[in-house]
Amino acid sequence: MLNDRVAIVTGASKGIGRVMSQLFAREGAKVICAARSDALVHETAELIHAAGGQAIAVTGDVSTEDGVKAIVAAGVKTYGAIDTLVNNAGDGGPTRPIQDYTTEDWFYTVNSCLTSAFMCSRFVVPQMIAAGRGAIVNIASMAGRRGLMYRVGYCSAKAGQIGMTYGLALELGKHNITVNAIAPGAVAGDRIDRVIKGQADMRGVDVERMRKSFVERSPLQRMSTADDIASLAAFLCSDAARNISGQCIPVTAGEPAS
């Protein structure tokens, strides 16, 4: 499905980013695994190599110009071009009421989730224009569509990613570049465990009761998985999705999107 693609996957050190990097490689893409954690992102690349795939690991902060330039330069040096970008990197930030949310909290969360997607898109798009094609997928969140209590920075950043998706799709269509977003609901793993614990603490309820409330929102009575998100991202980056652009696709195990 991705045999002739060269893809940057940010936040590739663990979770959805690691699963996505591995799937893209299995589907034939050459993967540039990018993350701040040197040891973990190299572990992702090593897992890909062990399975017979092609990948490099690049350590860098994608919320900074220098970090993104280094990642793009390494990808171009190794593979000659870049035509696929998955903006997956992002920290959820703190769970606290707005009156206790510091300016530092705000900028850290927004830079981690939204500025990083802008920076990567800014420096990868010229590569795509030169190639005559491209696919960008932003890993947003349902928190950016319907909100989540005590997560003002994260909700704002993810809503910004969705807005950026719509704007870039209009701007880049003439260059044969598709731009889409995926908005996961609850995705099983360490991150949602931390979110549930934070929400339970803030609301003064039992953690298992809070977890049950997250699952019960879904008609399918389950959380999504990293594989669910990775599979959709791979599809959106393939030729099979060449006429899908400017969309924000929920993955919520059936929970209504709004």
pLDDT score of 89: 97
Using alpha carbons, list the distances in angstroms from residue 149 to 52, 142, 144, 164, 208. Answer: 44, 13, 12, 23, 18
List 79, 101, 150, 154, catalytic entry: 154
Give residue 255's pLDDT.
Answer: 87
- Residue 257 in any domain: the answer is no
Q: Are residues 94 and 195 in the same domain?
A: no
- Domain shared by 164 and 42, yes or no: yes
Q: Say if residue 229 is in the same domain as residue 202.
A: no
What is the number of domains present in the chain? 2
Residues of the chain where predicted confidence (pLDDT) is lower than 70: 258
For residue 154, indicate whether it is catalytic.
yes
The model scores a pTM over 0.85: yes
Question: Given this model, what pLDDT does residue 37 score?
Answer: 92
Residues paired with 56 in a beta bridge? 32
Q: How far is CA 227 from CA 18, 41, 187, in A?
A: 10, 18, 10
Give yes or no: residues 191 and 81 share one domain.
no
Using alpha carbons, list the distances in angstroms from residue 250 to 60, 115, 118, 132.
29, 22, 21, 29
Contact 155, 104 (CB under 8 A): no
How many Å apart are CA 211 and CA 229, to the nearest integer? 20
d(CA 141, CA 48): 27
CATH number for the domain spanning 147: value is: 3.40.50.720
> What residue has token string 């969309």?
247
Give the model's pLDDT for residue 256.
84
In terms of residue numbers, what domain contains 55? 6-185+225-248
Say how many Å lie between the first and final Cα of the chain, rounded.
Answer: 32
pLDDT in tens, 162-179: 999 999 999 999 999 999
What confidence score (pLDDT) does residue 257 get?
Answer: 74
